[in-house]
């Protein structure tokens, strides 16, 4: 696997790039205007006591966190934490499915991502975990199924490490980055630091191109022989990524790749499911899903044969069914 290699997979002509960029730019402008309008209409004061489908909280250090609140108010709570450089929108297939089956589903945009504010500092796992804690506390959520995809898996793992499981009933790690992505003497199955340094460098040179290359290449497995690429998935990944802050997504590369979650995983004392594709080129399963299973021995490990990293889209029906079954168990 090499994320760097993904930059060689996009061979669009200049004319196609300009046409595609023009179309997506128009879509991005429309989406931003719509999000602003929705925020103005639907965000309510806590004193009003009305739960809306989208809203915001302010964290302990003054960061505004956007979140969606779907499904029945009295349903059992599921929180889904997204991956890099995405937003809550990346979970929409699972959130829609779970909400339609009676669960109250909360999905939030991590600080510096999506529609949340873009602080210059604090783009690290400790702050991500504390933001999640503030969201849970301010909404007074309990008995939660807490699941994270990719970087979001790191966020929920650090949350449990820092804040415990008093409000958590179950946990899910989906294509998740723990225990540690970067290669070290103690983690020989990790990826070389040069890989992540290269991603940061590519982000500085041309962040937009980096996101297109990742999405059109290894993220969804579209670089595999015989794969049929979905332009919709590629465009959605790109749009979500470009909504995030440049500095925030840049810093997050270090956060997701170089944070060691080993001790956090040892604190998992609730039913846990680990789901990972065995052809994940972004977060290889041996250093991630299988390694996490060793640290959380009571966890259920489900391996999706031939599946890439982005299983929330490529394997959404299978993932929807597995999450629903786990939530009901």
Q: What DSSP letter does each residue of 222-251 carry, written as one string?
A: TTSTT----HHHHHHHHHHHHHS-HHHHHH
Q: Would you state the pLDDT for residue 171?
A: 99
Tokens (6 digits) for 197: 């340094």
Q: Would you state the pLDDT for residue 21?
A: 43
CATH value at residue 108: 3.40.50.1820
- Are the C-beta atoms of residues 287 and 186 closer than 8 Å to each other? no
Tokens (6 digits) for 276: 């990972």
Any idea what DSSP says for residue 217?
I
The angle subtended at Cα 145 by Cα 72 and Cα 282, nearest 5°, is 120
What mean pLDDT value characterizes the chain?
Answer: 89
Tokens (6 digits) for 127: 């702050």
Q: Would you state the pLDDT for residue 52?
A: 55
Can you list the residues of the chain whose pLDDT is less than 50?
1-50
Which run of H or of E encompasses 58?
A: strand 54-58
- Report, as residue numbers or ranges, the catalytic residues: 150, 280, 309
Q: Would you state the pLDDT for residue 143?
A: 98
The angle subtended at Cα 148 by Cα 122 and Cα 284, nearest 5°, is 100
- The per-residue pLDDT for range 87-140, each reduced to its tens digit, is 999 999 999 999 999 999 999 999 999 999 999 999 999 999 999 999 999 999
CA 35 – CA 210 distance, rounded (Å): 25
Q: Please give the model's pTM, rounded to 2 decimal places.
A: 0.84
Total length of the chain = 329
**Structural domains of the chain, count:** 1
Residue range of the domain that includes 28: 4-328
């Amino acid at each position: 696997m090499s994320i760097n290699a993904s930059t060689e997979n996009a061979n669009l002509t200049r004319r196609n790039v300009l046409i595609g960029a023009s179309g997506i730019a128009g879509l991005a402008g429309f989406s931003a205007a719509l999000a602003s309008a929705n925020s103005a209409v639907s965000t309510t004061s806590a004193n009003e006591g009305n739960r809306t489908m989208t809203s915001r909280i302010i964290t302990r250090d003054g960061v505004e966190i956007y979140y969606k609140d779907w499904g029945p108010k009295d349903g059992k709570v599921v929180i889904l934490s997204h991956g890099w450089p995405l937003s809550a929108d990346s979970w929409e297939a699972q959130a829609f499915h779970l909400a339609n089956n009676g669960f109250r589903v909360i999905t939030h945009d991590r600080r510096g991502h999506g529609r949340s504010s873009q602080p210059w500092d604090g783009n690290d796992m400790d702050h991500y975990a504390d933001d999640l804690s503030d969201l849970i506390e301010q909404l007074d959520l309990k008995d939660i199924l807490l699941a994270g995809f990719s970087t979001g898996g790191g966020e929920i793992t650090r949350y449990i490490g820092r804040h415990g499981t008093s409000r958590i009933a179950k946990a899910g790690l989906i294509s998740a980055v723990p225990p540690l992505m970067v290669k070290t003497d103690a983690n020989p199955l990790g990826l070389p630091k040069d890989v992540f340094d290269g991603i940061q460098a590519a982000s500085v040179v041309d962040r937009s191109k980096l996101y297109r290359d990742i999405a059109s290449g290894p993220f969804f497995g579209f670089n595999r022989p015989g794969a049929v690429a979905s332009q919709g998935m590629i465009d959605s990944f790109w749009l979500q990524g470009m909504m995030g802050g440049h500095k925030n997504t840049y810093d997050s590369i270090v956060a997701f790749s170089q944070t060691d979650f080993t001790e956090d995983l040892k604190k998992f004392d609730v039913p846990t499911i680990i789901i990972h594709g065995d052809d994940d080129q972004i977060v290889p399963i041996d250093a991630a899903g299988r390694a996490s299973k060793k640290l959380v021995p009571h966890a259920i490990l489900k391996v999706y044969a031939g599946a890439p990293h982005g299983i929330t889209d490529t394997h959404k029906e299978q993932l929807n069914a597995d999450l629903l079954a786990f939530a009901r168990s």
